[in-house]
Amino acid sequence: MNEVITINNRKLYYQKYHQDMDWTKIIPTEKWVLVVSIDKKDNIVFKDIAYSAIDRDVHYVCCTGNYGEVLHDYIDEVIVAREVGAVEGHLPINDVVTTWHNDGLSDALWYALHCSGDAGDVLMLDVSEIQAGPDWEELIESWSQI
């Protein structure tokens, strides 16, 4: 996991997702926000991300990419299934807010860094076939000047 920058008194971390890695070891230890850029449909990946984030008390999940809406809906379904007892599993201490951003990664990151209240540090999980380009880092750097 790489720390990219601190904006709005929040650290932003970046991690490329690989199914063969235990990405949960890099999750911030306290309140945190997950931004997921996902461009492939893979139910195993959806389940891994949803269950891992919920089990580790994520406060916000901001989804974007070609399958961002699908992942967003999947996470909501897992939360509801746990709340009604249809599926066993940990329920987070706080409500989990999920958002879907069809305007791209920059919109999801802006929301995560500026609109998610005091939800803590942000982890950007890149679940795309091609690693997110350097332009998002330049964009975020420009936000630190605001």
The confidence score (pLDDT) of residue 145 equals: 56
Report yes or no: 13 and 120 within 8 Å, Cβ to Cβ: no
| Residue 34 belongs to domain with CATH number | 3.90.190.20
The confidence score (pLDDT) of residue 99 equals: 95
Q: Which helix (H) or strand (E) holds 127?
A: strand 121-127
The confidence score (pLDDT) of residue 31 equals: 86
The confidence score (pLDDT) of residue 79 equals: 93
The confidence score (pLDDT) of residue 104 equals: 85
Q: What is the mean pLDDT of each run of 10 residues along the chain (146 residues)?
A: 80 87 82 93 94 93 95 95 87 85 90 88 87 61 60
- Provide the residue range defining the domain that includes 127: 2-143
Domain total for the chain? 1
Alpha-carbon gap, residue 79 to 95, rounded angstroms: 9
Tokens 């950007």 -> residue: 124
